[in-house]
Amino acid sequence: MATKGKLMTRQALLAHCEEEMKLIRPIFKKDDVVVEFGCGLGGNMIAASGHVQEVIGIDINPFYIWHARRLSRRYPNCRFKSFEGKKLPFADASVDAVYSWAVFERIPKPAVEAYLREFNRILKPQGRSAIYLLRPEAKETGFTRLLGEGAYIYFEREEVEALMANCGFTIEQFIGWPAAHVCLAEKSVA
Ligand SMILES: C[S@@+](CC[C@H](N)C(=O)[O-])C[C@H]1O[C@@H](n2cnc3c(N)ncnc32)[C@H](O)[C@@H]1O
């Protein structure tokens, strides 16, 4: 299985996702309906599924959804919705949490902002969000070796703070990795 930038067995992928999800899990509550934006093969959804009521994956690429459905077939609380790329397929204030991992690193900044506004729209009051954005330091970590530095979008911490505030979020926690910011946030009170 080719994923996370290398070939992995199913077992290795799920172990890897388990580790990543430890960072995101603080935003989950047991009864939550959670959305993963850009779910890929669904490994993170499987890792999330034991901690929430339901995880719904969306991805712009139907090929990934097809594989994610197969990979998660033994996890009945993992579901999928098709997504045409702009408006998230959920009603206003209808989900408890939305997260995204390793997706915004290749999406232009104005589109990232538009998606974060969508995250805010679909979240219930006090809903929670976790996002992963590349830091400029990623250029020195070898993370970008596959496609080259120019293929990725980087955010300074101050930019993330302004972006989240503009999109209606209050940042609860910033986890600085060598290559990425992992930002946990809550929907701001209107
Ligand atoms: C590097 S993969 C990460 C998958 C998964 N989040 C993970 O960490 O294993 C990036 C995923 O984002 C999806 N993606 C890219 N642009 C997207 C968009 N505009 N809307 C939804 N999904 C998108 C891709 O199709 C791909 O499945």
- pLDDT score, position 6: 61
Q: Is the CB of 48 under 6 A from ligand 1?
A: no
For position 2, what pLDDT does the model report?
47
Structure-model confidence comparison of residues 93 and 3, the more confident one: 93
Q: Please tell me the distance from the alpha carbon of residue 101 to that of residue 104, in angstroms, as a whole number.
A: 8
Q: How far apart are CA 172 and CA 165, in angstroms?
A: 12
- Say if residues 36 and 100 touch (Cβ distance below 8 Å): yes
Distance 125 CA to ligand 1 centre (A): 26
* Longest CA pairwise span in the chain (Å): 45
Q: Where are the domains of the chain?
A: 2-187
Q: What is the CATH number of domain 2-187?
A: 3.40.50.150
Residues β-bridged to residue 130: 99, 184
**Ligand 1 atom nearest 64 alpha carbon:** 27
Q: What is the pTM of this model?
A: 0.95
Report the percent of the chain where pLDDT is more than 90: 83
Is 50 exceeded by the pLDDT of residue 163? Answer: yes
Confidence of residue 3 (pLDDT cuts 50, 70, 90): low
CA distance 135 to 160: 10
